[in-house]
Chain A
């Protein structure tokens, strides 16, 4: 099948975008077998792109000074020409919203439509993490609700009080997610309705008389055993925001709701943090396939295809460790290389691949295509499990990976503990997978105890891994926020594997918040 060129030169209009989308869609659905949310493509300016940058890519968000700070920061860099903007931003929602920059050439628009509107879109819709933890249908409505709710809070309780609560919630966002899908999936529309109903109920049943009724003697909690007390509070609890929302004794209801909003948003973004390599790898692989196919079909001219190859190879460029440009592993490069490698293992395996990957080597579908295997992988893995399963010895050799172990006890220097050879493959793979494991890289902090009957001091514990303590300055600041929310003293212990306390931080609530 041969077809006419989709466009010529660099110019495009909305008709061109429509044609490009339709051509990409045809290949994505019929040839690659992707399954996507309906697409919505939005053309935006550089300023709007900067704006999207500063509010975590979402089209609507509540107001907070920190977004203004990020905006000013990005803008300063952009104006000086130090930094380019992304070509697109894509939102995990249904319909799936992709923002395209107006400056992009027609080739670039084709690339980003293939990349975002089909690659990322498929990944969002099919990966198990996104399916379990995010609600693509409800997110935009929920953000709208959050924005309105916070604006109303600001009207009622003052901007400063709301800002203080949000600051604290933001500081704890990385520790405000559930890691274990014990609870049912969030329904964000239901969330919004719940909050509204709760308030109307409160308003309807409000009776000032209750205030005057003397409270009876409270049940003494002293007879509760420590164990029962912990169990009643659900301790230990690693979701700090959840704990504070539910158990902080002196928060106002609206403050709890704000913590809840921050928690939901953190939860929504959590899968993205866990699937950087896979997500970008999928999208890059998809755009590469689609663009190549379009070129084969004669829908893209040779010149435009060269333009695509140039920006594609920029995107998947991986400098080596001693290069001044080295920023760590480029998720696009690693992800794309792995996807291509899997395609090779599926379609043209070698003896080594058959030994390492008996499940997928040579298991392509009837047409000999790797898409069935790849789609299955995209749906069922996250970065950590993906790398520990599918990083092949061949790719490790190709990227010349090695494992560096920096142990302060080793005074002579830094040890090269493994390289890309027979002895090192598995160790390198395990170590690299671990670097992408959020629960390994984020410090593990739990609420372990609180004495509600006594001084109400909250006790947090950081379980130290590899002797690495928390960064002191920021830990103190975050702890201050925790104390402000908790309204009583807070202590954070850093405990190593043997149970020895290596360091303690304490914080007391600030007077201002106490009065609030």
Chain B
């Protein structure tokens, strides 16, 4: 008899089958996720959940008999029947046995639980990183030397000392190179020796040994090994997300809430795609400062509005902490659209010359009051629209209600069409 403990086997053996199932059920699962999103708080978007999907296209048909025809059953538990009794059919007529509650589950609908990752994947499925031509994850922009065994040639700086001495030792032992102690011992014996004949023999032996030592070098060029390096492509797997927000008096709590939700979605989206995502919060009035998240959303500030101040701060932080070669830079700006007229030139210059060239993506979200239509176009909106028309890779959208966040987000990240990519 043999006892095997399988509990230690790697988990998730069923995972691949599950992924195949989800792929096959993709459309219906997506529909179900959309429905379940309507009833859940965006905050909970990171949780998984149970979804129910129709079994369309998921059936496993077999050749079975249907209803109808003469049916015979042998059943246990007769209490009062005698042969020849006739029982009333249950309502619905032919069918024989009464249908039982709970039977036939999984016939036309199918309920199961999606994990958090699966849920998010479905949620984010047809969203794609915007214009990744510059630094796509899969692309091999960055190369890193990594160790790849040993070689017999190389630069002296890369000599593998351990390996070299080991090989030398092996060679010396194989060729029986006498070691220093043996010779020293022999010398001592010669010095002590009184008998001439013996001394002569010993001296001859010592000479032979010394000659052998000379013939067999301590380290031979054939022993030398160098550490070998190969350049391995290293994907840039980290991203930094700049949240810029106007916190001047004209921004209401409602507007900030909208902006926050947008940042959250962006954050989820990025943390799906990158191993490491950092957040930088920059709030600005007529001057900008980097703050922590809590201050960013909750602490009030007063002043005028100078958008260029935030962009300047962002530029400084990028220069100081986030080398564009190592980081994917995303920025999302939220504002009610106010900007002082005199600031326009500076803003445009900063954006087109400093920010956009290093950013993967720059989105501007104009937030408004729930009950108010956007009547006129704001100063900032007009500016960004003009920049966009000139070909700057900017995304701009307007949002005035919570329910519009998600569609806007989707729109922003929708797979771009070919011609649009050509423009940007």
The answer to whether A400 touches B17 (Cβ under 8 A) is: no
The answer to whether A414 touches B96 (Cβ under 8 A) is: yes
Residues from chain B with a CB closer than 8 A to the CB of A125 are none
Q: A41-B4, A67-B17, A403-B73 are in contact. Are A75 and B113 (CB under 8 A)?
A: yes
Binding site for B on A (CB under 8 A): 14, 17-18, 21-22, 25, 38-45, 47-48, 50-51, 54-55, 63-69, 71-73, 75-76, 79, 95, 99, 102, 159, 163, 167, 170-175, 318-324, 326, 329, 399-408, 410, 412-421, 423-424, 428, 431-432, 434-435, 441-443, 445, 462, 464-475, 477-478, 481
The answer to whether B64 touches A18 (Cβ under 8 A) is: no
Chain B CB within 10 Å, residue with most, of A68, A320, A324: A68
The answer to whether B68 touches A467 (Cβ under 8 A) is: yes
Q: A468-B68, A470-B64, A471-B65 are in contact. Are A65 and B96 (CB under 8 A)?
A: no
Q: How far, in Å, is B50 (CB) from chain A's closest CB?
A: 7
Q: How far, in Å, is A99 (CB) from chain B's closest CB?
A: 8
The answer to whether A64 touches B20 (Cβ under 8 A) is: yes
The answer to whether A43 touches B16 (Cβ under 8 A) is: no
The answer, yes or no, to whether B112 is at the interface (CB within 8 Å) is yes
Closest to A473 in B: B61
Chain A CB within 10 Å, residue with most, of B50, B83, B86: B83
The answer, yes or no, to whether B78 is at the interface (CB within 8 Å) is yes
Q: How far, in Å, is B325 (CB) from chain A's closest CB?
A: 37
Q: How far, in Å, is B379 (CB) from chain A's closest CB?
A: 53
Residues from chain B with a CB closer than 8 A to the CB of A64 are 17, 20
The one of B19, B70, B76, B110 that contacts A329, using a Cβ cutoff of 8 Å? B76
Q: How far, in Å, is A355 (CB) from chain B's closest CB?
A: 22
How far is it, in angstroms, between the C-alpha of A423 and the C-alpha of B83 when the chains are bound? 9
The answer to whether A467 touches B69 (Cβ under 8 A) is: yes
The count of A-to-B residue pairs whose CB atoms sit within 8 angstroms is 258
The answer to whether B65 touches A68 (Cβ under 8 A) is: no
Q: How far, in Å, is B263 (CB) from chain A's closest CB?
A: 33
The one of A65, A79, A431, A432 that contacts B23, using a Cβ cutoff of 8 Å? A65
The answer to whether A14 touches B74 (Cβ under 8 A) is: no
Q: How far, in Å, is A442 (CB) from chain B's closest CB?
A: 8
Residues from chain B with a CB closer than 8 A to the CB of A42 are 3-6
Count, chain B residues at interface, CB 8 A: 62
Binding site for A on B (CB under 8 A): 1-7, 9, 11, 13-14, 16-25, 50, 58-79, 81-89, 94, 96, 100-101, 106, 110-113
The answer to whether B65 touches A406 (Cβ under 8 A) is: no
The answer to whether B87 touches A408 (Cβ under 8 A) is: no
Please classify the interface of chain B as helix (H, G, I), strand (E, B), loop, or mixed, using the class held by over half of its residues.
Answer: loop
Q: A68-B17, A400-B78, A401-B78 are in contact. Are A44 and B7 (CB under 8 A)?
A: yes
The answer to whether A477 touches B61 (Cβ under 8 A) is: yes
The answer to whether A402 touches B50 (Cβ under 8 A) is: no
The one of B7, B70, B83, B100 that contacts A418, using a Cβ cutoff of 8 Å? B83
How far is it, in angstroms, between the C-alpha of A419 and the C-alpha of B80 when the chains are bound? 10
Q: How far, in Å, is A498 (CB) from chain B's closest CB?
A: 15
Residues from chain B with a CB closer than 8 A to the CB of A318 are 76
The answer to whether B70 touches A72 (Cβ under 8 A) is: no
Residues from chain B with a CB closer than 8 A to the CB of A468 are 65-66, 68-71
Q: How far, in Å, is B210 (CB) from chain A's closest CB?
A: 64
Chain A CB within 10 Å, residue with most, of B16, B75, B76, B83: B76
Residues from chain A with a CB closer than 8 A to the CB of B74 are 329, 401-404, 428, 431-432, 435
Q: How far, in Å, is B276 (CB) from chain A's closest CB?
A: 30
Q: How far, in Å, is B229 (CB) from chain A's closest CB?
A: 33
14 contacts between A and B (CB under 8 A): A55-B17, A65-B21, A67-B17, A71-B14, A75-B113, A159-B20, A171-B62, A320-B76, A401-B75, A404-B74, A414-B88, A468-B65, A468-B68, A468-B71
The one of A40, A69, A171, A404 that contacts B61, using a Cβ cutoff of 8 Å? A171
Q: How far, in Å, is B9 (CB) from chain A's closest CB?
A: 7
**Ranked 8 nearest A-B pairs via Cβ:** A320-B77, A468-B69, A68-B21, A68-B17, A471-B66, A467-B69, A477-B61, A72-B112
Closest to A482 in B: B63
Residues from chain A with a CB closer than 8 A to the CB of B89 are 406, 413-414
How far is it, in angstroms, between the C-alpha of A407 and the C-alpha of B78 when the chains are bound? 20
The one of B6, B11, B21, B72 that contacts A431, using a Cβ cutoff of 8 Å? B72
Q: How far, in Å, is B47 (CB) from chain A's closest CB?
A: 15
Chain A CB within 10 Å, residue with most, of B17, B77, B110: B17
Known pairs A171-B63, A405-B71 / 20 extra A-B pairs, C-beta < 8 Å: A39-B1, A43-B5, A51-B13, A63-B17, A68-B19, A68-B21, A71-B21, A95-B2, A320-B75, A320-B76, A329-B74, A407-B70, A415-B84, A415-B86, A416-B84, A417-B72, A434-B72, A464-B69, A466-B72, A470-B66
